A and B are shown apart, each in its own frame.
Chain A
Amino acid sequence: MSEATAPKAAAPKAVDAPLTFLDERLGSTTFFKRNVKKVFPDHWSFMLGEIALYSFIILLLTGTFLTLWFQPSMHETVYEGSYEPLRGVKMSQAYASTLHITFDVRGGLLMRQIHHWAAILFMASICAHMLRVFFTGAYRKPREINWLIGIVLFTLGMLEGLFGYSLPDDLLSGTGLRITQGVLESLPLVGTYGYMFLFGGEFPEGMNGELIPRLFTLHILLLPGIFLALITAHMMIMWHQKHTAMPVKNQTEEQVYGYPFYPVFMAKTGAYFLFTFGVLALLGAFAQINPIWQFGPYDPGAISSGSQPDWYMGVLEGSLRIMPNWEITAWGHTLSLNVLIPALGPLGIIFTGAALWPFLERWVTGDNRSHHVNDRPRNAPVRTGVGMAAVTFYGLLWLAGANDVIAERFHVSLFATTWFFRVTVIIGPILAYIITKRVCLGLQRSDANVIGHGVESGIIVASPDGRFSERHEPAREEERITILSKENARPEAPATDANGIPAPGTKGPLGVLRSRLQRAWTFDDIAVEEHEHGNGHEGHELEAGKSDKELRH
């Protein structure tokens, strides 16, 4: 990598002069020299986060376009635009201006649709990216801070989305704001105050139509600013810490194996931006999203069946739908558990759990080392099991948010779906944990088999005394390296030493808990290691000479 400093043939003056100008003032050459050769490992799942980054850029651009015409105002107006079926209907200026963007601004509908699809993909890719990071253990030391930033970004993304799709003031989004009001009011003690503070008075108008302008400011100024800051921090930390890598050949904890940023990765990531833009443009052009003209203007007296939020709020919708109607009335105050628990419970469990997980795992396993090579999910069965349990929990609540659509489309009773989700949301994660863990252990066993006995070659060999056996061949080099990336569980430290003194860190209730958890983490680990050869295996015996040569390293 050091050869880059070698002086090149003199560049043309037209190129050289401006570069020298910049370099003399900014000293950028040294920075670039150091950084353009940064190596990026190659794996498709490392691109998932980039979808979010590029969607965000497209969100900024299309969003700016939309602000040129959008009027964040709740003042009433009579629609006189070109959409015939709503002519003469009273509506807020926000809704009317969104209709104007849709039907009268050139390219307005396309921009609206790309903006909305980009929001959908932004959240979806963050979600997929976080799953990738979790299941490969890429959040481990030293990357906990970036993991936390990611969780904050996802949470803020939900708010940003809610505020964004509430801006047009249509019937569907008004329903979402009505639920927001209910959630705020269900908070004990501060609920009513919080609601009045956000809405500026009674729902939906406030004292003077405050809500939409407030949401607008939050949506286009405050939250995007925070996003920009957090995404920058996320990227700089990633750049500084370098990317994690999959356990492939040549990849070690000390050295990243991949392609340099310039020219290879830059071309790839540039192309990927174009792909993201292309997919969003395709969706925006051919798939209708948020057709507010069909929903009609917001009217507190009206509602539609099948009113759902965008997908990332679906988990909240679902938990609200399946929650039993519990309320406690004490000292003249009502505590609406029927709203409070679904609003705070499930996402509280998932986000708090996700935020604490890296630290919890470090505490349980006592693993304080830095990790740059990812785990294969099967090699951390407890983590993978817990992850799948969370995915199941989230997924079932998410589906429950669409229970009326499911009931209607698949001709099942609505009550049946409610009870199905009430039961499975508790049983499902437990089952998912058990099944996933067994699958992981099974895969470990199969890995151990591949390393221990080789892979089946499909060649049947007859021995001189007439016995048939299948010849096993050692696995390919790449496969072996990937499989051998597994770190086998260390033998358990004895609870007490020879003098009966308990091992450090195992005393007290916390210590006992920790050693129990540590045991649960590793007790059924299947060691994957290279065996001694010639241990009586027929196939190996026959080919002992050859395979020994290949297997010995």
Chain B
Amino acid sequence: MTRTGISVKRITAWRRRPWAGYAVVLAALAAIAGIYAGFSPQTDSAEAANNTQAAADLQNGQQLFNKNCASCHGLRGEGTKDAKGNPLAPSLLGVGAASVDFQVATGRMPAMNPGAQMPRKEPIPEFNTQIKTDYHDPEKRAQAEKQKAQAEKNIADLREYVASMGGGPPVPTKEQVGDPQKGDAALGGKLFRTNCAQCHNFTGQGGALTGGKYAPPLSKSDVTPTQIYEAMLTGPQAMPVFNDTTLTEKDKQAIIAYVVQSREEPNPGGNGLGRIGPVSEGLAGWLIGMGLLVLAAMWITAKKPKKLKKS
């Protein structure tokens, strides 16, 4: 009894101390924190690891940017101008990830030399995701696959870094791009003729524009559906922007379906002659048609009858 009385007394005594209220609040907070920690697994340590990874990616993106882009676009992506104030390279603030993905994955950026228009070319090794990986030698294959994965990561890091400077359209998802084989090619053809053919030609063979610029051909299979989507979204170089109010997602998918399906379609009439219309037809008519007939005429007139019956 005494013992108990003592202990109860002691607790009671502590309870009345001036610091008791603070102690209880502190203990309750500690308990809540402990329970919370028990119930949510991905906290603190995981979060911290993620943050370091993202920071490292961003750092990688920044390094790639500084190395490959900053010399023209400026260290903060603000663009550069020549002495007269004419822009040398545009500002990248607000261009977004889709634009970076398009320009870098098609090899247009980093540009090799300034000109009327940056040509599509093989990307530099750091960004080249099109490298050959089907080697027989497993070691070589593993290395090529590693290099490819690194290039994909580099592009992703770079576009995240540029996107972090200021927003812009993100890279379209697989769902947005859709399956070109299932799209509405009839609608796409109509939209293509109205919006695209005036520069890219009926069948996407490309065409000349003013001042040394040109609309690149869409007829080669290395122009991927995602790149076509990105081009419509961001309007690279001389191309206008076709945002979602001009051409809805469904319209864009239809256009991609038309481009992909028509370039895969065989020519029912024989050789397509480059699918550029009457210029190559005229050339073929004169060179092959007239050429063969002139040869035939020469052959026929060179034939002398062996013995012409005198009559």
Contact = CB atoms under 8 A, between A and B. Distances in A.
B289 A120 contact: yes
Interface stretch (A82-90, A236-244, A521-529): A82-90
A321 to B, nearest CB: 12
B176 interface: no
A19 B223 CA distance: 72
Interface in B163-202: 185-186, 189-190, 193-194, 197-202
B297 to A, nearest CB: 4
A31 interface: no
A103 B268 CA distance: 9
Nearest to B282: A311
Interface residues of B, number: 62
Interface in A286-303: 286-291, 294-296, 299, 301-303
Interface stretch (A42-50, A452-460, A530-538, A543-551): A42-50
A328 interface: no
Contact of B284 (A42, A51, A172, A287): A287
Nearest to A293: B268
Interface stretch (A190-198, A224-232, A359-367, A404-412): A404-412
A125 B292 CA distance: 12
Interface string B291-303: 0111011101111
Contacts of B281: 116, 120, 287, 289-290, 310-311
Contact of B285 (A85, A117, A294, A299): A117
B278 interface: yes
Contacts of A405: 208, 276, 279
B238 interface: no
Given A305-B207, A308-B277, A276 B212 contact: no
B311 A287 contact: no
Nearest to B258: A85
A46 B297 CA distance: 9
Contact of A120 (B268, B285, B292): B285
B269 interface: yes
A286 B194 CA distance: 31
B300 A268 contact: yes
Contact of A51 (B186, B198, B293): B293
B273 interface: yes
A264 B201 contact: no
Contacts of A282: 292
A343 B206 CA distance: 28
Contact of B202 (A42, A296, A412): A296
A40 B4 CA distance: 145
B296 A296 contact: no
Interface residues of A, number: 77
A121 interface: yes
Contacts of B194: 299, 301-302
B286 interface: yes
B260 to A, nearest CB: 11
Contacts of B269: 109, 113, 287-289, 291
A117 B289 contact: yes
A89 B285 contact: no
B26 interface: no
Given A85-B265, A413-B212, A414-B208, A294 B203 contact: yes
Contacts of B310: 3
A305 B199 contact: yes
Nearest to A123: B285
Interface in A384-419: 402-405, 407-408, 412-416
Contact of B211 (A285, A286, A310, A415): A415
Nearest to B296: A275
Main secondary structure of the interface of A (DSSP, over half): helix
A282 B292 CA distance: 11
A405 B276 CA distance: 8
B270 A285 contact: yes
Contacts of A158: none
A42 B200 CA distance: 50
Interface in A116-132: 116-117, 120-121, 124-125, 128
A279 interface: yes
Given A3-B310, A51-B293, A85-B265, A413 B279 contact: no
A303 B212 CA distance: 21
Most chain B CB atoms below 10 A, which of A271, A272, A405: A405
Contacts of A268: 300-301, 303
A539 interface: no
A310 B278 contact: yes
Given A87-B186, A303-B198, A311 B301 contact: no
B272 interface: yes
Given A306-B277, A309-B278, A264 B288 contact: no
B271 interface: yes
Nearest to B267: A288
A548 to B, nearest CB: 33
B116 interface: yes
B294 A121 contact: no
Interface string A50-87: 01000000000000000000000000000000001111
A11 interface: no
A125 B275 contact: no
Contact of A271 (B208, B271, B300): B300
Nearest to B198: A303
Contact of B272 (A288, A295, A296): A288
Nearest to B188: A85
8 contacts: A109-B269, A116-B281, A289-B273, A303-B198, A311-B282, A403-B208, A407-B208, A413-B116
Given A51-B290, A121-B289, A296-B189, 13 more contacts: A47-B293, A47-B297, A121-B285, A121-B290, A171-B202, A272-B300, A287-B281, A288-B270, A294-B275, A304-B193, A304-B197, A314-B282, A405-B208
The 8 closest A-B pairs by CB, nearest first: A305-B207, A311-B282, A288-B269, A120-B285, A47-B297, A407-B208, A413-B212, A304-B197
